[in-house]
Amino acid sequence: MSGERVLIVDDDQLIRWSLSQRLGKEGFQTFEAPDGAAAEALLAEQSFDLILLDYKLPDTDGIAMLKKLEQSRPDALVILMTAFSSIEKVVEAMKLGAYDYIHKPFDMDEMVVTIRKALETTRLRREVKTLLTDQRSRFGFDKIVGVSPKMREVFQLLKRVAESETTTVLLQGESGVGKSLVARAIHFNSSRATAPFMTIACTAIPEALLESELMGHERGAFTDAKAQKKGLLELAYTGTLFLDEIGETPASFQVKLLSFLEERTFRRVGGTMDINVNVRVIAATNQDLEKAVQDGRFRSDLYYRLKVVPIVLPALRERREDIGALVRYYVDYFNREFRKSIKDVSAEAMKLLEEYAWPGNIRELKNVVERAMILSRSDEFVVEDLPPEIRRPSLAAPASGFRFRLPEEGINLEELELDCLKQALDLAKGNQSKAARLLGMNRDQIRYRMEKYSLKPTS
C-alpha cells in the first residue's frame, strides 16, 4: 500500500464517495471537503500528497483556490477536475501550478493512472531536491578549508564566479590542491546547480575517443558506432562540464574545443547538424600553460579563450597557516568515517605536519591523516603515527640545509631539473617512489616529469 494522503475537494457527494472507495482500495488515504472553506480548514491543519480539486465549487472556483495555494502551499500537487472545456481556464490553471486536469465525467481507471503518475513525479522532485541539498552541503564553500590571506582571495573570486553568468573558467594549480572540489563548489553554488555536473579526465581517455566522449557520435561514424551517442556537452546542458587536465589534450582536440568555445555549437562525430548548447566549461590543469604555449604544446588562442576567469589555487606549502585547520578537518571527517574518537593531535606531531613540504598537497595531507587515524591507539595521534618522511624530514629532503647558489650568468632550469631527476632515479636504481622521496616529491610528480622528459622506467 502506498499510503499517500489525497484530499478530494468536490461538492458532489457521489463523486467524493466513488473516489474515496476506489482510491482506498488502491492503498491511498483519502480526505473529503465539499467546498473551498472546508478544504482550507483541512489544509491549515495537515498536509496532503495530492489534491483533487473540482473547478466549480459552491463558494469559490478552482482558479481562486489555486491562487491561494500558490501563496500558502507552493509545493502542493493539484489535479483539476472540470466539466467545462474552456482552454483559457485550463491554461490559466496550469500556469498557477496545477499538475494536470481531467474532464468530467472521467474514467476511474484513467484517474488512478493520472494520480500515480503525478505522485511519482512529485516523489522524483523530492529526491532531486534532497540530492541537491546534499550536494550543496558537501560542496559548499565552507568545505574548502582555508584561513590564509591567499585562500581568502580565492574564496572571494570563487563566489563572484559562481554568481556570475560567465561560461568559461580556468583552474590552475599543482596536483592535489583541490581543483575538482573547487569546480564542484562553483557549480553547486550557482544558478546551474539543478542541472548536471559532468566531468571528464582528459588523460584517462585515449586520444581517438576524446572527441567522441565530449561531442558524441552518430551511428556508423566509425566501426564500433552502432548507435547514436550524446556527448558530455549535450548531457551537461544548462549545467557545468569539468575538463580535468586540459593541458594534456592533443592538438586536434584543442582545435575542436576552441571552435565550441567560440561558437557555442558543435557537431557530433560523423554528424552534419550543428548543435547549440548552454553549458559552463571549467577547465583545470597542473601545468604552466603559458610555458606550454611557448613550447608549442598548447594552442595560444585556446589558452586565452579559457583564461576568461583564471583562478590559481596555491600549493599547501604556500599557505602553511591552513595546515592545522585542514588536519583538524580531516580528523573530524575520519572520526565519522571510522567511528573513532580521536580528540587531538599532539603538539610535536602538529609541528612536523606544519613544517613538512607537502609535495602532494591536500591529497597527501588527507592520506597522512587517514593513516595516522588508522594506526593511532589513543585518543590523539602522535609522531609515531606519522609516515617516515614526515617523522624524519631528511628522508623526504636529503639536501636539507643545502642552498643552491644561482650563477651570475643564470641557468637553464629545465636542464637542472632533468639532471636532478636522472640522478635521483640512478640513486634509487629506478625505484620511482624512492626517487620521489629523494626529491621531496610524490610518485605522481616523478611520473609526470619522466613523461615530460621522455624518460623510460628501468626494469
Within this chain, do residues 246 and 340 fall inside the same structural domain, yes or no? no
Among 85, 108, 133, give the residue marking a domain's end. 133
Q: How many domains does the chain fold into? A: 4
**pLDDT value at position 459?**
56
- 325: confidence class by pLDDT, cuts 50, 70, 90: very high
The average confidence (pLDDT) of the chain is 88
Within this chain, do residues 218 and 321 fall inside the same structural domain, yes or no? no
Does position 378 have pLDDT exceeding 90, yes or no? no
**pLDDT value at position 2?**
58
Among 312, 327, 342, give the residue marking a domain's end. 312
Cell of 56: 466549480
Are 372 and 385 contacting, i.e. CB atoms less than 8 angstroms apart?
yes
Within this chain, do residues 235 and 349 fall inside the same structural domain, yes or no? no
Q: Which helix (H) or strand (E) holds 275?
A: strand 275-276
* Residue 54 CB contacts under 8 Å (≥ 6 apart), including other chains: 9, 10, 11, 12, 15, 62, 80, 81, 82
Within this chain, do residues 161 and 281 fall inside the same structural domain, yes or no? yes
**pLDDT value at position 395?**
47
The mean pLDDT value for 66-78 works out to: 87
Within this chain, do residues 421 and 392 fall inside the same structural domain, yes or no? no
Within this chain, do residues 429 and 333 fall inside the same structural domain, yes or no? no
**pLDDT value at position 399?**
43
**pLDDT value at position 192?**
94
Within this chain, do residues 168 and 205 fall inside the same structural domain, yes or no? yes
The mean pLDDT value for 350-374 works out to: 93
* CATH number, domain containing residue 19: 3.40.50.2300
**pLDDT value at position 274?**
92
Percent of the chain with pLDDT over 90: 56
> Which amino acid makes up residue 150?
K
Among 133, 159, 188, give the residue marking a domain's end. 133
Report angle CA 173, 179, 184 to the nearest 5 degrees: 160
Within this chain, do residues 117 and 158 fall inside the same structural domain, yes or no? no
- 5: confidence class by pLDDT, cuts 50, 70, 90: very high
Within this chain, do residues 175 and 296 fall inside the same structural domain, yes or no? yes
**pLDDT value at position 302?**
96
**pLDDT value at position 405?**
67
* Lowest-confidence region among 69-83, 253-267, 387-401: 387-401
**pLDDT value at position 240?**
96
Give the residue, 20 or 206, on which the prediction is more confident. 20
Within this chain, do residues 303 and 166 fall inside the same structural domain, yes or no? yes
3-state SS assignment for residue 52: strand
Cα gap 425→125, rounded to integer Å: 56
Give the residue, 75 or 46, on which the prediction is more confident. 46
* Lowest-confidence region among 21-25, 252-256, 433-437: 433-437
Residue length of the chain: 459
Model confidence over 122-163: pLDDT tens digits? 888 788 777 877 877 788 888 889 989 999 999 999 999 999
* CATH number, domain containing residue 450: 1.10.10.60
**pLDDT value at position 402?**
56
HSE-CB for 231 with a 13 A CA cutoff: 26
The mean pLDDT value for 43-62 works out to: 91
Percent of the chain with pLDDT over 70: 96
Look up the domain containing 331 and give its range: 317-396
Does position 1 have pLDDT exceeding 70, yes or no? no
**pLDDT value at position 328?**
94
* Lowest-confidence region among 16-30, 112-126, 128-142, 347-361: 128-142
What's the pTM value of the predicted model, to 2 decimals?
Answer: 0.68
Within this chain, do residues 281 and 357 fall inside the same structural domain, yes or no? no
Does position 216 have pLDDT exceeding 80, yes or no? yes
Within this chain, do residues 415 and 382 fall inside the same structural domain, yes or no? no
* CATH number, domain containing residue 369: 1.10.8.60
Does position 259 have pLDDT exceeding 90, yes or no? yes
